[in-house]
Structure 1
């Protein structure tokens, strides 16, 4: 269901954009059919999950709903590359970590901690990547946008640790990411493909460390 929700965004975006601009073309019909099919399958899968899950797992989706709505609102107006929809969408998508954890029988505190780590990892990465891309294009940028994001991410991780919902190892992983990005943003600009590859590695590292810490006795 989570994978389908991710893939359904593209056809849904096409439908919303075309509706917003008052046009309807062949691609609109195709996108509408694909989106409707995927959404119907998602509804069925969620219903089955609700009926078979041992604990309520849906509350992160309810909380993430407004964030996803914000992203779709910007998508509809072809403004999805702005900072607000990127941040809102990233935090909303991060709720999937909590949903998966709850579906597997994890406690709400563990699920909340996973959501926090995944969300703060994205909140740190997005401003960093935006600054890096501006640098690569020789456009004006402000380093402090990236730096503040790193500080906020680590601070959020520390708050989660104090609240006993985030393992210390996950905070350390966020701190490592922050140090890497503070240094990288001051080095010579890099190609977009390399920036993306770096973020994949950094993201997987944070996820792996967090998962191992959560499963540790």
Structure 2
């Protein structure tokens, strides 16, 4: 590797913290849900491990990008340091969770692994904003609720509901927010896929309610989410500033967590 003579100041925040602010909501919702319905010491350790893994992604992307180009900048050194620190935190917390868990939780991790690998592949290709990458990443991170539940002693089948429900919510949010941002920028985009995604999620949840597997509060939360999608894509709603849209989506995520927590 060659060294770079660049001596410009390193912007540590861009290396140490994720650039996608919406990722904090995607991470927090399944953790909050899992700890709410299945609290345990192992769940707390798993939450810390997930946080460490989540933080590792950004500096690791920076370091891998520099390594692939055969370059070594001052930022590369900092990226390696942050990735190492975050990785050690994640591994240590995961080990503590493994030894304190009431039940093995590897089955949920194995089911989530393919989605995480797809996202990581797109990260390596510098295409992390691709729709398939975002959907796979959201699906993988939603599995945290199921992993936490299994660690607390839940069987796999009921734990999977804690994965599927937030996964439906996060995937619909990604489609909705992407459509809304395109329309707000004046870019041509169809509203139908976002509305159809919400309708499909509501139909799935309604079916689970009909089977007696979950309560009506879950269906109510998803119905409100669909109404939000319809109103949010109206022309007058597109004038809302993008940062405010992100704050609003965080609130809607909390609503879904409450609905699932009360109805599971």
TM-score with structure 1 setting the length:
0.90
State the Cα distance separating 1:163 from its structure 2 match: 5.9
Root-mean-square deviation (CA, aligned residues, Å) is 1.9
Alignment match of 2:247 (pick from 185, 197, 204): 197
Deviation by residue 1:31-72 (Cα, 9 ceiling, x = unmatched): 122212322232222122112211112222221111111112
With 38-47 and 133-142 compared, the bigger mean Cα shift is at: 38-47
Q: Distance in 2 between matches of 1:129 and 1:205?
A: 17
Q: Please list, as runs of the form range in 1=range in 2, the aligned pairs for 1:1-217 lying within 5 A after superposition.
A: 1-161=49-209, 165-188=213-236, 189=238, 190-214=240-264
SS of 1:87's partner is: helix
Q: Distance in 2 between matches of 1:155 and 1:26?
A: 52
State the Cα distance separating 1:169 from its structure 2 match: 1.9
Higher-Rg structure is 2
Deviation by residue 1:141-193 (Cα, 9 ceiling, x = unmatched): 11112112112222332344456554332122112201221222124212211
8 A contact 1:17–1:75 mirrored in 2: no
TM-score with structure 2 setting the length:
0.75
8 A contact 1:124–1:178 mirrored in 2: no
Deviation by residue 1:2-49 (Cα, 9 ceiling, x = unmatched): 111111111112123223444332212221222123222322221221
What are the ranges of 5 or more consecutive residues in structure 1 without an aligned counterpart?
Answer: none
With 23-32 and 153-162 compared, the bigger mean Cα shift is at: 153-162
Q: 1:165 to 1:108 in 2, by over 3 A?
A: farther
Q: Distance in 2 between matches of 1:126 and 1:176?
A: 17
Q: Distance in 2 between matches of 1:149 and 1:195?
A: 19
How many residue pairs match? The answer is 214
8 A contact 1:98–1:114 mirrored in 2: yes
Deviation by residue 1:71-126 (Cα, 9 ceiling, x = unmatched): 12112222111111111100100011111122223333332111111100011111
Q: Distance in 2 between matches of 1:157 and 1:60?
A: 21
Q: 1:166 to 1:21 in 2, by over 3 A?
A: farther
